[in-house]
Amino acid sequence: MNGTGVRWELGFLGAAAVVTGVACAHQPVRAQQRDDVIAVQAQQIDKVALAHAAAGEATTTLAKVRSVVRWAQQSFKWTYTDYRQRSVDEIIARKGGNCFEQTIVVAALLNELGIRTRSVREINIQPESRLRQWSAARRIAKTGPSASVFGYRHNDHVWMEFWDDAAGEWTPADPALDLVGFDAWLKARVGFGARPVHRILASRDMLVPVAIFAQMDSTMATRTVEYLIAGFNSAYDRRLEKLAAWSEWTTAIAVLEPAARGAFQGRVNLHERAEDILRAKIAYKKLAAEYSATKSPLP
């Protein structure tokens, strides 16, 4: 770095991902100046070269996804939502983003490698927060019910699925939480064991998802059963379905799913379903307690 420019690298990629900025290295960069720098850097990014550099020596689809997700982990800082729309190139140049922004960058690079992807949106239960409720209420008043996807004890989250040719199925990948594959996803997102704490975002704060949808063109395909019922039960060798709280959990999920879909589509105010969200939380905690009481070893 010298007095006339800024030079930086994305993560571990070396020369393939180097971009050159124009801001003075010794002066504070104001917001508009910073935006101008990002715009210049974005014009210089070769996503094809970046995708291949991020994938490294990986040969299988699964290995390539893991490599690109790891690149994102090492290259991006976590940033909270500011409701600004940015291009993939601008997000890369910015070297930071929220879950949605990190996901679309990883998806774009995987697409350059010939890997099919689709965006996934979820509603998950969170620790109660009056500040989050207040912020959501303000957004609802301004933009409508679609802002109700976050609130007092719930929040939304974005990740992705990729088509794994070897497995012949859509497989989860969460760039923000560094999760690739069903086993990693299930243990980190619905498992009763210790949750991994990520340097960007603590997934343990997400108690459990309650509705999951994959975006397919203009439609939303439900993935709730695959992850939160069939996948969840399978991760525990189908022992959960034998517990008394299992029916409470599956019922709570079935009630919430259409409401969550409606919220994502801007038709339903999820804040009006606060009692249903609470029932799902209670059902999950009862399920965890019942499973623990069986004294079965955690997977």
Element (H, E) at 185: helix 182-189
Residue in this structure with the two tokens 């050159």, named with its chain if needed: 20
Q: By the 8 A CB rule, do 53 and 67 touch? A: no
**31 within some domain:** no
**206 within some domain:** yes
What are the average pLDDT values for consecutive 10-residue runs of the chain, which has 299 residues? 30 34 33 50 79 96 97 86 85 88 95 97 96 96 97 96 96 95 95 77 79 92 98 97 97 98 97 98 97 71
**67 within some domain:** no
Residue in this structure with the two tokens 């339903």, named with its chain if needed: 268
Q: In the prediction, which pLDDT does 295 show?
A: 64
**171 within some domain:** yes
Q: In the prediction, which pLDDT does 269 show?
A: 98
**186 within some domain:** yes
Q: In the prediction, which pLDDT does 20 show?
A: 27
Q: In the prediction, which pLDDT does 24 show?
A: 29
Query: DSSP labels for 260-290?
Result: HHHHHTTS--GGGGHHHHHHHHHHHHHHHHH
Quote the tokens at residue 52. 């291949």
- pTM for the structure as a whole: 0.84
**Paired sense of beta strands 96-97 and 77-78, if any:** parallel
252-259, long-range: CB < 8 A, 24+ apart:
252/210, 252/276, 252/279, 252/280, 252/283, 253/210, 253/211, 253/224, 253/228, 253/229, 253/280, 255/279, 256/123, 256/210, 256/211, 256/280, 257/210, 257/211, 257/222, 257/224, 259/211
Is 176 strand, coil or helix? coil
**80 within some domain:** no
**CA-closest candidate to residue 137, choices 124, 120, 118, 150:** 150
Q: Which residue range(s) make up the domain with 210? A: 116-299
**285 within some domain:** yes
Q: In the prediction, which pLDDT does 217 show?
A: 82
Number of structural domains found in the chain = 1
What is the distance of C-alpha 48 from the center of its chain? 23
